[in-house]
Structure 1
Amino acid sequence: MPHRPSTSANPIVAIVGPTASGKTSLSLDLAEALGGEVVNTDSMQVYRGMDIGTAKLPPAERRGIPHHLLDTLDVREPATVAQFQAWARAAIADIRGRDATPVLVGGSALYTRAILDRFEFPGTDGDVRARYEAELEEVGPEVLHARLRALDPAAAERIEPENGRRIVRALEVIELSGAPFSARLPVQEYDDPATVQIGVEIERDVLEERIRERVRTMFDAGLLDETERLLANGLAEGRTASRAIGYPQAVAVLAGEMDVAEAQERTVIATRRFARRQMAWWKNDPRITWVRYDDPDRVARALAVVRDQRT
């Protein structure tokens, strides 16, 4: 059944921007000012126990603001974009039904776009999917990513070379539809017109230092111990959770395949690459109002955009 936009006066407010740019603090400030509730749009923060590696905000730091779609899945359970879209839209409808304002925040750009924009998911074929998954197991994601780049450079630019699951999905859709996978991605048309996007703008060199500091903090705070606990709970079998940046590097340290310094550097590189791919989603979206990460008036500016939407 098609999604029916809410008639609530409260807009949907989404905070976007690269990882480590300060989206979380801005989301809390806006939720406080608007009487809102936060909806997580990070594909990995839905997993219980994945706290340090996903920079999940501890409950004590959530300022008493209700948060949705955090800690809802076991690490063994897969999660698709289609599922996440349904969960998030249900949470948004529930929040607005209580006359509160949903404030979306998270680092998964595709998930955010799938929630906000008109996007119907293409079909699937179990045999085709199984064939590509078997090939993925045999040759690895880089080979399939190279094939995707030859078939659909725009899709390859948005999908990480390590993300075998999304590469398989893109190749499946291309084979079934005969059209580029990128043509099936969300278009810039809000599913509900009462939607506002606020982007957090930050210089690349500042962002890289913040990423390095975040990675150091993760390892110092016990990422290795957290990963060991998650492995005992089935992390290695989780098709979605096991891909979260930082955990494969921590697994390699635990297995004696690299030292902590190398794991940190590889995590920084992967995070930096992820941030670039995030910005590829947002840089050409004229609907986003950008505020600087260090602007003392960023909350006031963001609130002005929200209030303009209401009038």
Structure 2
Amino acid sequence: MISPAGAPPPLVAVVGPTATGKSGLGVALASLLGGEVVNADAMALYRGMDVGTAKLAPGERGDVAHHLLDVLDVTETASVAAYQRAARAVIEDLRAAGRTPVLVGGSGLYVQAVVDELEFPGTDATLRAELEAELAAVGPGVLHTRLATVDPAAAAVVLPSNGRRIVRALEVVALTGRPFPARLETGGPPRYDAVLLGVDRPTGELDERLARRVARMFAAGLVAETRTLLDHGLREGRTASRALGYQQVVAALDGHGDLGTAAADTVRATRRFVRRQRSWFRRDRRIVWLGPGPDLLERALRTLKA
């Protein structure tokens, strides 16, 4: 894609479900466009979570710089608001330097927070702690009933089993006196002159790829990696402990099934996650979807030039 003379390069985003080939395409595009990759996978923010997130090894990144990988300890909570600030700072520095930022990842809200003007309400540590203690004591159902009373629209969107999101919704309502923006994906005008490329594969093919990927992860040392992360506080990490693969291995290490069960559970959970990713990204009509094929890179370049 050619920018007008003197204009900074546009933002290119490569998005879509897990295991579709986004990372490889992102590196190839960044290399050809004179750009750098900005990670938009929430779990790839964590140091030490390499095998289970299918993070590209340094040798697979070629000469392309990558940003926002390995920036959090597993005990830290990932925040989309903090990510938004960090990603935008990187993108704006790259564009000012004439480098093309290539945003790559499948975390829908993280992508949306960068490419569109979204605002995230603040937080209050004391209130959050009180709500989380109540969640632990009475369970998400009771809190969801309260949410339905104070913010019926949010309760209609937030699952009754999603305790973390219920707590956040109640916190926002209490702090702002306004409804919780549960449908963040619908709000905010575009921030950048962004081109969004979506990468997907037929469901049957992707299911097979997911099963093979999980098998490779277990063969490549996911269990050993999880043990190491447990020594570094994985259980205490509110975000990292929920990462697919790791939570299933932890359950097996705790005696809830064996590692074979953990692998099968990881495949099933990842397939469910893919359905949620598709649902999120398919709402965005700006995304140009690219199917698999040996000419994927060429088709992506043609789209950028169009």
Instruction: Confirm or deny a common fold (TM above 0.5).
Output: yes
Local SS of the residue matching 2:290: strand
Q: Which amino acid aligns with 2:190?
A: Y
**Is the deviation greater in 15-24 or in 130-139?**
130-139
Residues of 2 paired with 1:93 and 1:226: CA distance? Answer: 35
Cα distance, 1:297–1:184 mapped onto 2, change above 3 Å = closer
- 2:293 matched to which residue of 1? 295
Query: Does the aligned pair in 2 maintain the 1:154–1:182 contact within 8 Å?
Result: no
Residues of 1 paired with 2:156 and 2:13: CA distance? Answer: 24
What is the CA-CA distance between 1:256 and the residue it aligns to? 2.0
Q: Which amino acid aligns with 2:290?
A: V
Q: 1:152 aligns with which of 154, 176, 193?
A: 154
What is the CA-CA distance between 1:60 and the residue it aligns to? 0.9
Query: Does the aligned pair in 2 maintain the 1:174–1:181 contact within 8 Å?
Result: no
Local SS of the residue matching 1:15: strand
Residues of 2 paired with 1:237 and 1:154: CA distance? Answer: 30
- RMSD over aligned CA atoms reads 2.3
Residues of 2 paired with 1:304 and 1:126: CA distance? Answer: 48
**TM-score normalised by L of structure 2:** 0.88
Query: Does the aligned pair in 2 maintain the 1:20–1:211 contact within 8 Å?
Result: yes
Describe the superposition over 1:226-260 as per-residue Cα deviations: whole angstroms up to 9, x where unpaired: 00001111111112211111111111122222101
Q: How does 1:1-311 map to 2 (within 5 A)?
A: 8-141=7-140, 144=143, 151-152=153-154, 155-156=157-158, 161=161, 164-175=163-174, 176-185=176-185, 187=187, 189-192=189-192, 194-292=193-291, 294-308=292-306
The number of residue pairs the alignment matches comes to 297
Cα distance, 1:222–1:141 mapped onto 2, change above 3 Å = farther
What is the CA-CA distance between 1:139 and the residue it aligns to? 3.7
Q: Which amino acid aligns with 1:35?
A: G
Residues of 2 paired with 1:148 and 1:259: CA distance? Answer: 38
Query: Does the aligned pair in 2 maintain the 1:155–1:182 contact within 8 Å?
Result: yes
What is the CA-CA distance between 1:152 and the residue it aligns to? 2.8
Query: Does the aligned pair in 2 maintain the 1:37–1:100 contact within 8 Å?
Result: yes
What is the CA-CA distance between 1:52 and the residue it aligns to? 0.5
Residues of 1 paired with 2:186 and 2:88: CA distance? Answer: 15
Query: Does the aligned pair in 2 maintain the 1:245–1:267 contact within 8 Å?
Result: yes
Cα distance, 1:71–1:124 mapped onto 2, change above 3 Å = closer
Cα distance, 1:195–1:209 mapped onto 2, change above 3 Å = same
Residues of 1 paired with 2:197 and 2:144: CA distance? Answer: 32
Cα distance, 1:101–1:53 mapped onto 2, change above 3 Å = same
Residues of 2 paired with 1:271 and 1:64: CA distance? Answer: 30
- 2:3 matched to which residue of 1? none
- Unmatched segments (≥5 aa) in structure 2: 1-5
Residues of 2 paired with 1:210 and 1:106: CA distance? Answer: 17
- Unmatched segments (≥5 aa) in structure 1: 1-6
Query: Does the aligned pair in 1 maintain the 2:154–2:179 contact within 8 Å?
Result: no
Residues of 1 paired with 2:69 and 2:63: CA distance? Answer: 15
What is the CA-CA distance between 1:107 and the residue it aligns to? 1.9
Q: Which amino acid aligns with 1:42?
A: D
